[in-house]
Chain A
């Protein structure tokens, strides 16, 4: 019973490099999310996918792109990494949209450092 699987756990990038964070859930959830967590701040939504085939910007989308590959997988891409993107990234999923009030299930996070 894996829940939400997120890879990699750690990554160091140089400014300008690109990478993709992978996320997969096995709970048949409709909605998936990417958050970033910075010290002293609450989790902030980067992008979300309310259902398969749809994606929408969240609070802090600049510098990121996403793909909802299928119902299970939702990836986050950094095309040209910047030091401001140093953060801990969390993928999450829920059965229904968080606006309706459905519990969130989180991955274990990716600690990204951009030098």
Chain B
């Protein structure tokens, strides 16, 4: 059983729509990471957070430690946001990854 679950697995949105990706985990963590994997395969770190909320441009990440849940929001989505978004948690010295959410934004 994967200790990091993401939903949905796949998501298609029209340009301009608000997108939410969810991440639930079952272990105690020191931090949670959101990563973006481009269609070409490269992986970029978007956020690392241990409480509250962080914002970078049109991306917002939130975490609720008590509920063991995090969300990644994309406001005013654009086709260039099409990518796989990966949630990962730092727990007991290790990083555990979710399987990723494939996001496609159509013009």
Query: Contact residues of A with B, CB < 8 Å?
Result: 40-45, 58, 88, 90, 92, 97-106, 108-109, 111
What residues of chain B lie closer than 8 Å to A104, measured between beta carbons?
A: 33, 35, 43, 45, 95
Q: Is B2 an interface residue (CB 8 A)?
A: yes
Q: Which residue of A43, A102, A105, A108 contacts B97 across the interface (Cβ within 8 Å)?
A: A43
Please judge, given known A-B contacts A42-B97, A104-B95, whether A98 and B90 are in contact too, CB under 8 Å: yes
Give A8 to B6 CA distance when docked, in angstroms.
Answer: 31
Chain B interface, DSSP helix/strand/loop, else mixed: strand
What residues of chain A lie closer than 8 Å to B30, measured between beta carbons?
A: 99-101
Known: A98-B95, A101-B48. 17 other contacts (CB 8 A): A42-B86, A42-B98, A42-B99, A58-B94, A97-B93, A98-B90, A98-B93, A99-B30, A99-B93, A101-B30, A101-B50, A103-B33, A103-B48, A104-B45, A104-B95, A105-B45, A108-B41
* Contact between B100 and A42, CB atoms less than 8 A apart: yes
CB nearest neighbor in A for B87: A42
Chain B count of residues within 8 A CB distance of the other chain:
27
CB distance from A110 to the nearest CB of B (A): 10
Which among B42, B43, B90, B91 has the greatest number of chain A C-beta atoms within 10 A?
B43
Give A43 to B87 CA distance when docked, in angstroms.
Answer: 10
Cβ contacts A to B, 21 pairs, < 8 Å: A42-B86, A42-B88, A42-B96, A42-B97, A42-B99, A43-B97, A44-B97, A45-B94, A88-B41, A90-B43, A92-B43, A98-B95, A99-B90, A101-B31, A103-B45, A103-B48, A104-B45, A106-B42, A106-B43, A108-B40, A109-B43
